[in-house]
Structure 1
Amino acid sequence: MKPVLAQNFPVRPSLQWSTITLLAGIVLLVVASFASLPLKLHAFFDAEAVRTSIEFLRGFSPPETAPAFLKKIGIATFETLAMSAIGTLIAAFLGVLIGLPASGRFGNTARLATRAVLNVLRSIPELVWASVLLIAAGLGPFAGTLALALHTIGVLGRLFAEAFENCSPLPEETLRANGVNPVAAFLYSTLPQCSPQLMSYTLYRWENNIRAAAILGVVGAGGLGQMLKFHLSLFQMQQAASVIVAMLLMVAVVDGVSFMLRRLMTK
């Protein structure tokens, strides 16, 4: 008789009590959230609410297409793009500088201090930064650009620090063991390893900053958001509809460009 070979059946993973407790806590939190919030879904789908919403949306059509107004939209669109691009560029540069000590390269004390600074920067929303900076810098895109940069430094600095920590230290250690300057060793070994990830993070944050720049105009930081607030406050719905369409087109184009750039970097 031929020997019967033992078959290796996959072992069914067992759930630990910590995992079960965590899942149960999440379920209880979701149930408690729905129970504590005064959700009035019946009022949302009420016939009167639907009728008034339709009447309100009808005021947005047709969008304003006068050449002079479209020229203003084009200038505001460029202003919004410039705010997001400059704010992201400043944040990426300073994020690398702060991300290095935040990754623990200069000791645990520097790591804790810089991560605390990054936590503060990204915990404060862009609208709050813009409101504070408008007092110092005045109305306009300059305050909006600084607000985007400060918040994005906190986000990119943390992401860059994680990227530096996850990079293999062996190439840099090899160069330094052979007498290479520490700065040169970092630039020629660690930075090339992390650069695709750093660029991907930066492009993703640029996409987010374009949306944020469009909203910052609500507090007077310039761009399309300021135009949108102005026309909505005067109930000029057709002009507001044109601004909203410009926002949608701008975000769609930037999302497509960013996606193509990320695809090129990963090839």
Structure 2
Amino acid sequence: MKRPDLPPSPRRSWSTPLLLAALLALIVASFATLRLDLAAFFTPEAVGTTSEFLGGFAPPETAAPFLRKTLDAALETLSMSALGTLLAALAGLVLALPAAGRWGGPPRAAVRIVLNVLRSIPELVWAALLLVAAGLGPFAGTLALAAHTAGVLGRLFADALENAEPQPEAALRANGAPALTAFFYATLPQSLPQMLSYMLYRWENNIRAAAVLGVVGAGGLGQMLKYHLSLFQMQSAATVVLAMLLLVALVDAISYALRRVLTR
């Protein structure tokens, strides 16, 4: 009996092993070029200096006037992160539509370049630039968060819109619905839970970023921390650090609960 012809074996691809080998070589080269002296952290002198430095933070400052001042700064940091994330979500959605190839407008590649520029500049650099124009305070910090996060959310929103199923919108368009109506009733509901999840995750990150932005004079807890550290008021700085940790934990818990509700 004649044996049926077997299908040809697939050609072996070397792209994945070559990529892994290149990454491994890059990691090895990174460790070879960086002079990491990990043993220096565990010398008696380093341990003693670190213990003395950390001991200066105890006990944290608990005077009522200072706690009220810290609470005001924490609320300012929270407001900066929330408003910055909201402005970034609105700007990101506006930029995501042409970036996803929706409704003509600016060239898709040009909008993608704008998003790359926005998110490639760190929040601290944005804050340093905006402090020149807006002056010291939370306004510059809020705009810095919004500028960087708009680039991140715009890219994520564009990807979510591109991954949405096109058939529902095409069916509405075939039945005479306008393009905007078809988008709001067919494509946006598919992408909205994912987009909201992205926005909440960036809010968590912006809480941390807002606390750091104060170091350059953008207000909030970061500005308090820089002030007290520069004066070597370690106990007051410890209270500010604890307020940062509590604020981040609170926002993480709220964001986690909201994401759970959205994914049900």
User: Could you tell me the TM-score, scaled by structure 1's length?
Assistant: 0.93
Describe the superposition over 1:190-215 as per-residue Cα deviations: whole angstroms up to 9, x where unpaired: 11111100000000000000000000
Q: How does 1:25-174 map to 2 (within 5 A)?
A: 25-107=22-104, 110-174=107-171
Structure 1 residues 49-58 or 109-118, which shifts more?
A: 109-118
AA aligned to 2:82 is A
176, 185, 188: which one aligns with 2:185: 188
| 8 Å Cα contact 2:98-2:106 kept in structure 1 | no
Question: What percent identity do the matched residue pairs reach?
Answer: 67
CA RMSD of aligned residues (A): 1.4
Kindly indicate whether residue 197 of structure 2 is the aligned counterpart of residue 200 of structure 1. yes
1:18 positional shift: 1.3
1:15 positional shift: 7.0
Structure 1 residues 133-142 or 107-116, which shifts more?
A: 107-116
> 1:216 — aligned with what?
213
Distance 2:119 2:226 in 1: 25
Kindly indicate whether residue 222 of structure 2 is the aligned counterpart of residue 225 of structure 1. yes
AA aligned to 2:190 is Q
Unaligned runs of 5+ in 2: 1-9
AA aligned to 2:79 is A
Distance 1:122 1:15 in 2: 38
Distance 1:41 1:47 in 2: 13
Look up the SS of the partner of 1:24 in the other structure.
helix
Distance 2:231 2:50 in 1: 18
Describe the superposition over 1:128-167 as per-residue Cα deviations: whole angstroms up to 9, x where unpaired: 0000000000000000000000000000000000000000
AA aligned to 1:45 is F
> 2:3 — aligned with what?
none
1:43 positional shift: 1.1
Do the aligned partners of residues 14 and 223 (structure 1) sit closer, same or farther apart at CA in structure 2, a change above 3 Å counting?
Answer: farther
> 1:263 — aligned with what?
260
The number of equivalent residue pairs is 255
Distance 2:160 2:167 in 1: 15
Do the aligned partners of residues 239 and 188 (structure 1) sit closer, same or farther apart at CA in structure 2, a change above 3 Å counting?
Answer: same
